[in-house]
Amino acid sequence: MDEEYSISQLCISISPFAAYNTFRYLSCFYRTDSNNNLRNPCWSNVKMKINKGIKVRIYPNKQQQELLNKTFGCCRFLHNKMLEERRTVYDTLKEEKDHLYAHKYKTEKQYKKEFPFLSEVDSKALQSETRNLLQAFQNFFRGIRTGKKIGYPKFKSKKKKQTYTTYNINNNIRINHKAKRIKLPKIGWVKYRDDRNVVHPIKHVTVSRTRTNKYYVAIIIEVEIDVEPITTIPLHRIEAFDMSAPNFLINENLELTNPRFYRNQERKLKRLHKLESRKQKGSKNREKARLRLARGYEKIQNQKMDWTHKLTHSLSNQFDAIILEDLNIQGMQQFNSGLSKSVTLDFSWYQFISYLRYKLEWQGKPLVLVDRFFPSSKRCSVCGQINNDLQLSKRTWTCQCGATHHRDVNASTNIKEEGLQILHDQGITIINDNHATVGTTESHASGDYVRPALAGSGQGRRNPLAFRQW
């Protein structure tokens, strides 16, 4: 009997960054087996709609800067007022659940009547701020129900980065490419600098001001692209890496060291911190020192972003499938506080995986994340024996079979083997250099089983000798 087909909606959210701000939605058909597990795709190509963000710097004049700053302030004021109201109502009615759930909170229109200065800015920006706060509460309560750690909404500070979002209604947001101007509601035509042409309809824009007093606009457009999913992958086009603090990425063929963007500037930043602390609060010299310090951190952020984009672009074009380990970054930081500078300041593993995921997905290529509990470092890649006594400080170790391993290289070999098994379970055909289909073999005599996970699915099973013949 023919296998049934089911629809699976994939939604991947990419956080905002300098070149792109991407939220992708993909609806497609998948083949299922008798256990209703997803198998290989049954389509040849897919029409994929994505929301692509083009972030450009704008140069408003003094009057426009005042209007932008007023909009930032009004959105921040409305956010804090609504959050304060909800906290006050909860503290008052937390013992009376029926009254608490039935309470009607003020809308932005009611706040406008109470505070007339809110009517001086873009109304869509205020509505967007309301939706964002409601979404933050929904995420918080969903985290409580599912057991995920999602923080309670916080008050916005004037000292941090300022943003607001407004929507394109009746073509009130448009671009003049020849004059290099963009029209924003209530602001007017603003000069920008960018060579990319926006030919697709604009959905909405997010205006931001950094701590260095630079203004940017993220233009969100909807683009439809054709994606041809890869169902057959040559073995040499599949690569796996182990991620560690000393070596950002490493396997038997490649060793990419930690870029150390923060550590290279650490002494300079300490000096700038001292200079700022010695200035009188509220003085112009204090503001100048703050700007110098903010520019130092902004430089590090731009270096990390540029390096990550170039690396993920190169990897996504060079390989048809990439296998990584799903690391628990927060848990690693709690276990070893010395890793904080490496995994959050020198580089960002989460940012790297996010960029790599959407760039592979746009080309129909899979990203496989092996389960974090898979013993990649402790398992011998030759015989499969697991060394439970292996300490984190040992970079090389010798197995009972006589094989000597470098810890990270051995881990990358095991990660690749596990990822190949997961790709095979997905229904993706893997061929060797002789164009022969490669299959699986029997498992180890030890019978050790570990449950791996597909990227975003949490499904899979362990077969230690899978693809051992390679």
Beta bridge partners, 176, equal 181
Six-digit token pair at 331? 């848990």
Q: Determine phi and psi for 57, rounding to 5 degrees.
A: -90, 140
Active-site residue (options: 239, 320, 325, 417): 325
CB 332 within 8 A of CB 343: yes
Nearest to 468 by CA among 437, 444, 435: 444
Which class for 213: exposed (0-12), middle (13-18), buried (19 or more C-beta within 10 A)? exposed
Active site residue 242: yes
Place of tokens 């824009």: 205
Alpha helices by DSSP H, 319-430? 329-335, 340, 349-362, 407-426
Six-digit token pair at 68? 């932008």
Active-site residue (options: 122, 129, 242, 276): 242
Q: How far is CA 106 from CA 109, 123, 140, 291, in A?
A: 8, 16, 20, 38
Cα–Cα distance, 333 to 59 (Å, whole number): 40
Nearest to 295 by CA among 377, 364, 213: 213
Active-site residue (options: 326, 346, 408, 417): 408
The residues annotated with a catalytic role in the active site are: 242, 325, 408
